[in-house]
Structures are given as structure tokens and as C-alpha cells.
């Protein structure tokens, strides 16, 4: 990773963590929720910047990488969806939010991974808009975490799954 890329990723991570923590704190949330929001902000916002770098794209789309590797990267991020649904969307678990977000993310990822290389980018952008709209219209964005849904989808669907400029892997 170049020095410039490293500095951008670190800045995105630190600023993302601060932004997420301050927004959550100003909403009157518990210290635990503030800490979790700050950690999620560090990874999701910093990770979105990281996934936009040529170095990271080249790494995740190098020869030998396939759909299994991409799914293995996307799947653990569902833990953030569950954390947000459990701790930050009211007094009890928001199952509808978790379901809409998780099914949308997994389904969109599968479609992006299955289409031809020529269609990956427009399909990914379309999927991003459909999933984000489904969450926003279906259950609404998360109080004090309005950045979370668009940023996680950006990090994974438009950042991680698209090679952009790197010779793409074959579609599944």
C-alpha cells in the first residue's frame, strides 16, 4: 500500500470512529453503544476508504481469488447488522431490520458475483440503490447511525466486490 493510501485509510478509520462515537454519544446512548458505534465506524468507514484503493482491489482480485473468498469477506460483516439491530434500534432486537438488511446484502453480493464482468459495475450500483432503498423505506435508517447502512453497502458492494481497473476475476 502506498504512503498516500495508508494515510487516507488511517484518516478514514480515525475520523469514522470519532464521527460514529460522537453521533452515538450525542443521542444519549449508553457508553457500550458509543464504544460499539466507534468500533463499527472505524472498520466500516475506514474499510470503505481502504476498499477503494488500487492496492486493496488488486489484493482481493488477484489471480486465484474466487467467489468463495469474496463471500468469506462479506459474511462476517453481518455481525455489524446484528449488533446494530440488537443495540441501536430501540429497546429490543429489530428482526425486520436485520432480515431486510442481511437478505439484501447477501442477495446483492450473490448477484454481483454471478454476473458477467462487463455487467458487474452497473449491477453493483443498482443493487446498492435497491438494498439501501429497501432498508430506508422498509424500516428506516438507524438513529444516530444514519451513516451505517450506506457506508457498509458502499464498502462491500461497491468497494470490495468490484475490481475497478484491475483485471477482473471470472464470474461464477
pLDDT tens string 10-66? 999 999 999 999 999 999 999 999 999 999 999 999 999 999 999 999 999 999 999
Give the domain range for residue 155. 3-160
In a domain, 87, yes or no: yes
Give the pLDDT band (50/70/90) at residue 165.
low
In a domain, 43, yes or no: yes
Q: How many domains does the chain have?
A: 1
In a domain, 65, yes or no: yes
Distance of alpha carbon 33 from alpha carbon 119, whole angstroms: 39
pTM for this entry = 0.92
In a domain, 156, yes or no: yes
In a domain, 167, yes or no: no
Number of Cβ within 10 Å of residue 96's Cβ equals 12
In a domain, 30, yes or no: yes
Mean pLDDT of 143-162: 96
Higher pLDDT, 21 or 169: 21
In a domain, 166, yes or no: no
| Ranges 35-39, 91-95, 99-103, 149-153: which has the least confidence | 91-95
Amino acid at each position: 500500500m502506498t504512503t498516500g493510501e495508508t494515510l487516507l485509510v488511517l484518516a478514514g478509520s480515525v475520523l469514522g470512529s470519532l464521527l460514529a462515537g460522537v453521533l452515538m454519544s450525542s443521542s444519549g446512548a449508553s457508553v457500550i453503544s458509543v464504544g460499539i458505534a466507534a468500533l463499527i465506524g472505524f472498520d466500516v468507514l475506514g474499510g470503505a476508504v481502504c476498499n477503494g484503493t488500487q492496492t486493496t482491489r488488486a489484493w482481493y482480485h488477484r489471480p486465484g481469488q474466487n467467489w468463495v473468498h469474496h463471500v468469506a469477506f462479506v459474511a462476517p460483516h453481518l455481525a455489524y447488522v446484528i449488533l446494530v439491530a440488537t443495540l441501536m434500534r430501540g429497546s429490543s432486537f429489530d428482526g425486520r431490520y436485520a432480515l431486510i438488511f442481511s437478505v439484501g446484502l447477501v442477495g446483492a453480493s450473490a448477484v454481483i458475483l454471478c454476473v458477467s464482468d462487463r455487467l458487474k459495475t452497473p449491477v453493483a450500483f443498482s443493487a446498492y440503490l435497491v438494498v439501501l432503498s429497501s432498508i430506508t423505506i422498509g424500516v428506516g435508517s438507524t438513529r444516530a447511525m444514519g451513516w451505517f447502512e450506506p457506508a457498509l453497502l458502499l464498502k462491500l458492494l461497491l468497494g470490495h466486490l468490484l475490481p475497478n481497473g484491475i483485471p477482473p476475476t471470472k464470474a461464477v
